[in-house]
Amino acid sequence: MQSIISVFMAIIMFLVPTANLPKAEIDTDAWNTNYTCVFVHGLAGWGSYDVQYGLMPYWGMFGGDMIRYFNARGFDCHAASVDPGGSAWDRACELYAQLTGTRVDYGAAHAERCKHARFGKDYTGRALIDAFSAEHKINLFGHSFGGATILMFAELMANGSREEQAAAADASSLFAGGKGDWIYSITALSAPMNGTTAYTLRHEFQDGTTKPTLMQDLTSRMIGIAGGNKNDGRIDEDSAEYDMTIDNALAMLDGIETQAHIYYFSVPCCCTMDDGNGNQVRDPSVKVEPLVLSTIDAMGCYTGVTPGGYVIDDRWKANDGLVNTFSARAPLNAPQQEYDSANVQPGIWNVMPTYRGDHQALMGDLIHINYIRPFYLDLLVMINSL
Protein backbone atom coordinates (compact mmCIF):
# COMPACT_ATOMS: atom_id res chain seq x y z
CA MET A 1 0.00 0.00 0.00
CA GLN A 2 2.80 2.39 0.90
CA SER A 3 4.47 1.79 -2.47
CA ILE A 4 1.21 2.60 -4.28
CA ILE A 5 0.93 5.85 -2.34
CA SER A 6 4.54 6.70 -3.15
CA VAL A 7 4.01 6.17 -6.89
CA PHE A 8 0.87 8.29 -6.80
CA MET A 9 2.73 11.08 -5.01
CA ALA A 10 5.58 10.93 -7.50
CA ILE A 11 3.14 11.38 -10.39
CA ILE A 12 1.46 14.33 -8.67
CA MET A 13 4.81 15.97 -7.90
CA PHE A 14 5.79 15.63 -11.55
CA LEU A 15 2.58 17.28 -12.69
CA VAL A 16 2.58 20.08 -10.11
CA PRO A 17 5.71 22.25 -10.10
CA THR A 18 7.42 23.09 -6.84
CA ALA A 19 6.76 26.67 -5.79
CA ASN A 20 9.76 28.94 -6.11
CA LEU A 21 9.65 31.57 -3.39
CA PRO A 22 12.14 34.42 -3.16
CA LYS A 23 14.88 34.01 -0.61
CA ALA A 24 14.08 35.73 2.66
CA GLU A 25 16.59 38.02 4.34
CA ILE A 26 17.17 36.68 7.84
CA ASP A 27 19.04 38.77 10.41
CA THR A 28 20.77 35.96 12.28
CA ASP A 29 22.80 38.49 14.31
CA ALA A 30 19.64 39.28 16.27
CA TRP A 31 19.22 35.68 17.43
CA ASN A 32 19.93 34.70 21.01
CA THR A 33 19.75 30.96 20.29
CA ASN A 34 19.68 28.64 17.32
CA TYR A 35 18.61 25.36 18.84
CA THR A 36 17.69 22.41 16.66
CA CYS A 37 14.05 22.37 15.53
CA VAL A 38 12.21 19.05 15.35
CA PHE A 39 8.90 18.86 13.47
CA VAL A 40 6.48 16.06 14.39
CA HIS A 41 3.71 15.17 11.95
CA GLY A 42 0.11 14.44 12.74
CA LEU A 43 -2.30 11.59 12.12
CA ALA A 44 -1.55 9.57 8.97
CA GLY A 45 1.56 11.69 8.42
CA TRP A 46 5.17 10.90 7.58
CA GLY A 47 8.66 12.24 8.11
CA SER A 48 12.20 12.08 6.78
CA TYR A 49 12.70 8.39 7.65
CA ASP A 50 9.82 7.52 5.30
CA VAL A 51 10.35 7.04 1.56
CA GLN A 52 7.34 9.14 0.65
CA TYR A 53 8.87 12.24 2.28
CA GLY A 54 11.28 12.59 -0.61
CA LEU A 55 8.38 12.46 -3.03
CA MET A 56 5.89 14.55 -1.07
CA PRO A 57 7.19 16.37 2.02
CA TYR A 58 4.62 16.49 4.82
CA TRP A 59 6.00 19.88 5.77
CA GLY A 60 5.34 21.87 2.61
CA MET A 61 3.40 19.43 0.43
CA PHE A 62 3.03 20.77 -3.13
CA GLY A 63 4.76 24.01 -2.13
CA GLY A 64 8.06 22.18 -1.64
CA ASP A 65 10.06 20.94 1.34
CA MET A 66 9.92 23.59 4.06
CA ILE A 67 12.56 21.83 6.15
CA ARG A 68 15.18 22.25 3.41
CA TYR A 69 14.00 25.83 2.88
CA PHE A 70 14.53 26.71 6.56
CA ASN A 71 17.91 24.99 6.74
CA ALA A 72 19.10 26.99 3.74
CA ARG A 73 18.37 30.12 5.78
CA GLY A 74 20.45 29.26 8.82
CA PHE A 75 18.06 27.18 10.90
CA ASP A 76 18.66 23.56 11.91
CA CYS A 77 15.38 21.74 11.20
CA HIS A 78 14.44 18.06 10.97
CA ALA A 79 11.26 16.06 10.31
CA ALA A 80 10.63 13.12 12.64
CA SER A 81 8.78 9.96 11.56
CA VAL A 82 6.43 8.47 14.15
CA ASP A 83 3.62 5.92 13.92
CA PRO A 84 0.88 7.49 11.73
CA GLY A 85 -1.89 6.04 13.88
CA GLY A 86 -0.07 5.23 17.10
CA SER A 87 -0.93 6.45 20.58
CA ALA A 88 0.74 9.55 22.02
CA TRP A 89 2.78 7.28 24.31
CA ASP A 90 4.08 5.08 21.50
CA ARG A 91 4.88 8.06 19.29
CA ALA A 92 6.76 9.79 22.14
CA CYS A 93 8.89 6.67 22.64
CA GLU A 94 9.65 6.55 18.91
CA LEU A 95 10.58 10.23 18.88
CA TYR A 96 13.03 9.72 21.75
CA ALA A 97 14.74 6.83 19.97
CA GLN A 98 15.14 8.90 16.80
CA LEU A 99 16.56 11.89 18.66
CA THR A 100 19.01 9.80 20.68
CA GLY A 101 19.92 7.22 18.05
CA THR A 102 18.71 4.26 20.10
CA ARG A 103 16.23 1.41 19.81
CA VAL A 104 12.58 2.21 20.48
CA ASP A 105 11.51 1.00 23.93
CA TYR A 106 7.78 1.32 24.53
CA GLY A 107 8.24 0.19 28.12
CA ALA A 108 7.80 -3.30 29.54
CA ALA A 109 4.71 -2.38 31.56
CA HIS A 110 3.07 -0.52 28.67
CA ALA A 111 3.82 -3.33 26.22
CA GLU A 112 2.34 -5.95 28.52
CA ARG A 113 -0.77 -3.89 29.26
CA CYS A 114 -1.35 -2.95 25.62
CA LYS A 115 -0.41 -6.38 24.25
CA HIS A 116 2.27 -5.47 21.76
CA ALA A 117 6.03 -5.87 21.44
CA ARG A 118 8.16 -3.92 23.88
CA PHE A 119 10.82 -2.90 21.37
CA GLY A 120 10.50 -1.22 17.98
CA LYS A 121 12.86 0.09 15.32
CA ASP A 122 16.53 0.57 16.05
CA TYR A 123 17.94 4.02 15.18
CA THR A 124 21.48 3.29 16.37
CA GLY A 125 23.89 5.06 14.05
CA ARG A 126 21.13 7.00 12.29
CA ALA A 127 19.91 9.57 14.80
CA LEU A 128 17.71 12.35 13.44
CA ILE A 129 19.85 15.12 14.96
CA ASP A 130 23.54 15.59 15.75
CA ALA A 131 23.25 16.26 19.49
CA PHE A 132 20.56 16.26 22.18
CA SER A 133 21.24 17.33 25.77
CA ALA A 134 20.74 20.18 28.23
CA GLU A 135 23.43 22.07 26.31
CA HIS A 136 21.98 21.12 22.93
CA LYS A 137 18.29 21.79 23.46
CA ILE A 138 15.55 21.42 20.88
CA ASN A 139 12.47 23.31 19.77
CA LEU A 140 9.52 20.99 19.15
CA PHE A 141 6.74 21.63 16.63
CA GLY A 142 3.76 19.29 16.47
CA HIS A 143 1.00 19.49 13.89
CA SER A 144 -2.40 18.02 14.76
CA PHE A 145 -1.87 14.85 16.81
CA GLY A 146 1.82 15.70 16.71
CA GLY A 147 0.90 18.34 19.32
CA ALA A 148 -0.33 15.69 21.76
CA THR A 149 2.76 13.62 20.93
CA ILE A 150 5.24 16.32 21.93
CA LEU A 151 3.31 17.06 25.14
CA MET A 152 3.59 13.40 26.14
CA PHE A 153 7.24 13.43 25.10
CA ALA A 154 7.99 16.50 27.25
CA GLU A 155 6.26 14.91 30.24
CA LEU A 156 8.33 11.73 29.97
CA MET A 157 11.52 13.72 29.42
CA ALA A 158 10.86 15.70 32.61
CA ASN A 159 9.24 13.20 34.93
CA GLY A 160 9.81 9.80 33.34
CA SER A 161 7.75 6.80 34.43
CA ARG A 162 8.23 5.07 37.76
CA GLU A 163 6.10 2.20 36.51
CA GLU A 164 8.43 1.52 33.59
CA GLN A 165 11.54 1.85 35.74
CA ALA A 166 10.11 -0.70 38.15
CA ALA A 167 9.04 -3.04 35.36
CA ALA A 168 12.47 -3.54 33.78
CA ALA A 169 16.04 -3.01 34.92
CA ASP A 170 17.02 -2.11 31.35
CA ALA A 171 14.24 0.43 30.83
CA SER A 172 14.91 3.22 28.35
CA SER A 173 16.61 6.30 29.76
CA LEU A 174 13.51 8.20 28.65
CA PHE A 175 11.64 6.71 31.60
CA ALA A 176 14.24 7.99 34.08
CA GLY A 177 13.08 11.58 33.52
CA GLY A 178 15.23 14.50 34.65
CA LYS A 179 15.68 15.75 31.09
CA GLY A 180 12.98 18.39 30.85
CA ASP A 181 15.61 21.10 30.37
CA TRP A 182 16.63 19.48 27.09
CA ILE A 183 13.56 21.14 25.55
CA TYR A 184 13.58 24.89 24.90
CA SER A 185 10.17 25.42 23.35
CA ILE A 186 7.02 23.60 22.29
CA THR A 187 4.69 24.79 19.53
CA ALA A 188 1.35 23.05 18.98
CA LEU A 189 -0.01 23.61 15.47
CA SER A 190 -3.74 23.09 15.08
CA ALA A 191 -3.44 20.38 17.71
CA PRO A 192 -6.44 18.65 19.37
CA MET A 193 -4.84 18.95 22.78
CA ASN A 194 -8.20 18.52 24.51
CA GLY A 195 -9.61 16.12 21.93
CA THR A 196 -11.89 16.82 19.00
CA THR A 197 -15.60 16.52 18.26
CA ALA A 198 -14.65 15.00 14.90
CA TYR A 199 -14.22 11.73 16.78
CA THR A 200 -17.29 12.38 18.93
CA LEU A 201 -19.32 12.57 15.72
CA ARG A 202 -17.58 9.52 14.31
CA HIS A 203 -18.66 7.46 17.31
CA GLU A 204 -22.21 8.77 17.03
CA PHE A 205 -22.24 7.79 13.36
CA GLN A 206 -21.07 4.32 14.35
CA ASP A 207 -23.68 3.70 17.04
CA GLY A 208 -26.53 5.24 15.05
CA THR A 209 -27.08 8.24 17.37
CA THR A 210 -26.51 10.60 14.44
CA LYS A 211 -27.11 9.76 10.79
CA PRO A 212 -24.23 10.93 8.59
CA THR A 213 -24.34 12.12 5.04
CA LEU A 214 -22.47 10.02 2.49
CA MET A 215 -19.44 12.32 2.61
CA GLN A 216 -19.50 12.54 6.41
CA ASP A 217 -19.55 8.76 6.60
CA LEU A 218 -16.61 8.56 4.18
CA THR A 219 -14.56 11.10 6.14
CA SER A 220 -15.45 9.35 9.38
CA ARG A 221 -14.21 6.04 8.01
CA MET A 222 -11.00 7.63 6.75
CA ILE A 223 -10.07 9.19 10.09
CA GLY A 224 -11.03 5.93 11.76
CA ILE A 225 -8.64 3.96 9.57
CA ALA A 226 -5.90 6.56 10.05
CA GLY A 227 -6.16 6.69 13.83
CA GLY A 228 -7.45 3.25 14.72
CA ASN A 229 -6.16 -0.04 15.99
CA LYS A 230 -3.38 -1.84 14.09
CA ASN A 231 -5.15 -5.23 14.26
CA ASP A 232 -1.96 -6.76 15.69
CA GLY A 233 -3.55 -7.87 18.94
CA ARG A 234 -3.04 -4.65 20.86
CA ILE A 235 -5.85 -3.11 22.87
CA ASP A 236 -7.97 -0.36 21.30
CA GLU A 237 -6.84 2.13 23.94
CA ASP A 238 -3.34 2.16 22.46
CA SER A 239 -4.23 4.25 19.41
CA ALA A 240 -4.49 7.82 18.20
CA GLU A 241 -8.27 7.58 17.90
CA TYR A 242 -8.56 6.71 21.59
CA ASP A 243 -6.30 9.59 22.63
CA MET A 244 -8.18 12.13 20.50
CA THR A 245 -11.61 11.56 22.03
CA ILE A 246 -12.35 14.38 24.46
CA ASP A 247 -12.64 12.32 27.65
CA ASN A 248 -9.43 10.43 26.98
CA ALA A 249 -7.50 13.52 25.88
CA LEU A 250 -8.48 15.31 29.08
CA ALA A 251 -7.52 12.27 31.16
CA MET A 252 -4.14 12.19 29.46
CA LEU A 253 -3.61 15.89 30.20
CA ASP A 254 -4.20 15.21 33.90
CA GLY A 255 -0.86 13.41 33.87
CA ILE A 256 1.03 16.07 31.93
CA GLU A 257 2.70 18.91 33.79
CA THR A 258 3.42 22.32 32.29
CA GLN A 259 7.17 22.84 32.72
CA ALA A 260 8.22 26.19 34.17
CA HIS A 261 11.30 26.53 31.95
CA ILE A 262 9.74 25.61 28.56
CA TYR A 263 8.29 28.24 26.23
CA TYR A 264 4.87 27.09 25.03
CA PHE A 265 3.14 28.36 21.90
CA SER A 266 -0.03 27.29 20.12
CA VAL A 267 -1.47 28.16 16.74
CA PRO A 268 -5.20 27.37 16.48
CA CYS A 269 -6.80 27.31 13.05
CA CYS A 270 -10.31 28.16 11.92
CA CYS A 271 -12.15 28.05 8.60
CA THR A 272 -15.66 28.77 9.90
CA MET A 273 -17.86 31.81 10.50
CA ASP A 274 -21.01 32.52 12.50
CA ASP A 275 -24.16 31.76 10.52
CA GLY A 276 -26.23 34.26 12.49
CA ASN A 277 -28.07 31.53 14.39
CA GLY A 278 -25.36 30.63 16.86
CA ASN A 279 -23.70 27.94 14.76
CA GLN A 280 -20.51 27.88 12.71
CA VAL A 281 -20.45 27.19 8.97
CA ARG A 282 -17.73 27.18 6.36
CA ASP A 283 -16.27 30.60 5.60
CA PRO A 284 -16.36 30.82 1.77
CA SER A 285 -13.38 33.18 1.78
CA VAL A 286 -11.11 30.43 3.16
CA LYS A 287 -9.73 27.69 0.93
CA VAL A 288 -10.77 24.30 2.25
CA GLU A 289 -9.54 20.84 1.31
CA PRO A 290 -12.19 18.36 0.12
CA LEU A 291 -11.12 16.02 2.93
CA VAL A 292 -12.72 18.22 5.59
CA LEU A 293 -15.60 19.80 3.67
CA SER A 294 -18.16 17.39 5.10
CA THR A 295 -17.15 17.80 8.74
CA ILE A 296 -16.98 21.58 9.03
CA ASP A 297 -20.71 22.26 9.39
CA ALA A 298 -21.33 19.12 11.46
CA MET A 299 -18.71 20.18 14.00
CA GLY A 300 -19.95 23.76 13.73
CA CYS A 301 -23.34 22.99 15.23
CA TYR A 302 -22.42 20.20 17.64
CA THR A 303 -22.97 20.47 21.39
CA GLY A 304 -23.52 17.74 23.93
CA VAL A 305 -22.12 15.86 26.87
CA THR A 306 -19.35 13.29 26.63
CA PRO A 307 -19.72 9.83 28.21
CA GLY A 308 -17.40 11.11 30.93
CA GLY A 309 -19.63 14.07 31.67
CA TYR A 310 -17.70 16.89 30.00
CA VAL A 311 -20.03 19.52 28.51
CA ILE A 312 -19.26 20.36 24.88
CA ASP A 313 -20.63 23.90 24.62
CA ASP A 314 -20.70 26.64 21.98
CA ARG A 315 -16.97 27.32 22.44
CA TRP A 316 -16.30 24.07 20.56
CA LYS A 317 -18.21 25.02 17.39
CA ALA A 318 -15.53 27.02 15.56
CA ASN A 319 -13.23 24.56 13.83
CA ASP A 320 -10.77 23.88 11.01
CA GLY A 321 -12.59 20.85 9.67
CA LEU A 322 -10.95 18.29 11.95
CA VAL A 323 -9.96 20.12 15.13
CA ASN A 324 -11.98 22.51 17.25
CA THR A 325 -10.31 25.91 17.47
CA PHE A 326 -10.98 26.03 21.22
CA SER A 327 -9.24 22.70 21.76
CA ALA A 328 -6.18 23.87 19.82
CA ARG A 329 -5.59 26.92 22.03
CA ALA A 330 -4.07 25.22 25.08
CA PRO A 331 -4.65 22.31 27.46
CA LEU A 332 -7.66 23.18 29.60
CA ASN A 333 -5.70 22.47 32.78
CA ALA A 334 -2.73 24.68 31.84
CA PRO A 335 -2.12 28.42 32.27
CA GLN A 336 -2.51 30.44 29.09
CA GLN A 337 -2.38 33.99 27.76
CA GLU A 338 -2.86 35.65 24.41
CA TYR A 339 0.45 36.00 22.60
CA ASP A 340 2.16 39.34 23.26
CA SER A 341 5.57 39.76 21.65
CA ALA A 342 6.60 42.06 24.51
CA ASN A 343 5.56 39.58 27.20
CA VAL A 344 6.46 36.05 26.14
CA GLN A 345 6.87 33.94 29.25
CA PRO A 346 7.95 30.32 29.77
CA GLY A 347 5.71 27.99 31.76
CA ILE A 348 2.54 29.38 30.23
CA TRP A 349 0.83 28.80 26.89
CA ASN A 350 1.25 31.78 24.61
CA VAL A 351 -1.73 31.50 22.25
CA MET A 352 -0.92 32.93 18.84
CA PRO A 353 -3.60 34.66 16.73
CA THR A 354 -5.96 32.15 15.14
CA TYR A 355 -4.79 31.24 11.65
CA ARG A 356 -7.51 31.51 9.01
CA GLY A 357 -7.26 28.17 7.27
CA ASP A 358 -8.34 24.56 7.36
CA HIS A 359 -6.62 21.75 9.22
CA GLN A 360 -4.01 21.17 6.51
CA ALA A 361 -3.15 24.85 6.06
CA LEU A 362 -0.13 24.76 8.37
CA MET A 363 1.28 21.82 6.38
CA GLY A 364 1.03 23.83 3.19
CA ASP A 365 -2.37 22.22 2.41
CA LEU A 366 -2.93 19.18 0.19
CA ILE A 367 -4.56 19.97 -3.17
CA HIS A 368 -4.35 23.72 -2.70
CA ILE A 369 -0.93 25.31 -2.32
CA ASN A 370 -0.69 27.45 0.79
CA TYR A 371 2.49 29.53 0.91
CA ILE A 372 3.02 29.07 4.61
CA ARG A 373 6.78 29.56 4.66
CA PRO A 374 6.73 33.27 5.71
CA PHE A 375 4.55 32.33 8.70
CA TYR A 376 7.09 29.75 9.87
CA LEU A 377 10.06 32.02 9.22
CA ASP A 378 8.51 34.64 11.53
CA LEU A 379 7.79 31.94 14.12
CA LEU A 380 11.31 30.49 14.01
CA VAL A 381 12.93 33.93 14.18
CA MET A 382 10.75 34.86 17.15
CA ILE A 383 11.76 31.70 19.05
CA ASN A 384 15.45 32.21 18.27
CA SER A 385 15.16 35.81 19.46
CA LEU A 386 13.67 35.03 22.88
| Every domain of the chain and the residues it spans | 2-195+244-270+325-384
Does the predicted TM-score (pTM) go above 0.75? Answer: yes
The band of 110, judged by pLDDT with boundaries at 50, 70 and 90, is very high
Angle at 26 between CA 21 and CA 28, to 5 degrees: 150
> pLDDT-derived band of residue 5, with 50, 70 and 90 as boundaries?
very low
What architecture (CATH level 2) is domain 2-195+244-270+325-384?
3-Layer(aba) Sandwich (3.40)
Residue 8 reports pLDDT greater than 80: no
Residue 343 pLDDT level (bands cut at 50, 70, 90): very high
Cα–Cα separations (whole angstroms), residue 31 to 75, 78, 261, 282, 357: 11, 19, 19, 39, 29
Tell me how far apart the alpha carbons of residues 359 and 270 are, in angstroms, rounded to a whole number. Answer: 8
Write phi, then psi, for 338 (nearest 5 degrees): -70, 140
pLDDT tens per residue across span 175-195: 999 999 999 999 999 999 999
Higher pLDDT, 223 or 99: 99
- What is the rounded CA–CA span in Å between residue 178 and residue 292? 40
Q: 145-159 vs 88-100: helix axis angle to the nearest 10?
A: 70
SS3 3: helix
- Mean pLDDT, range 259-285, rounded to an integer: 97
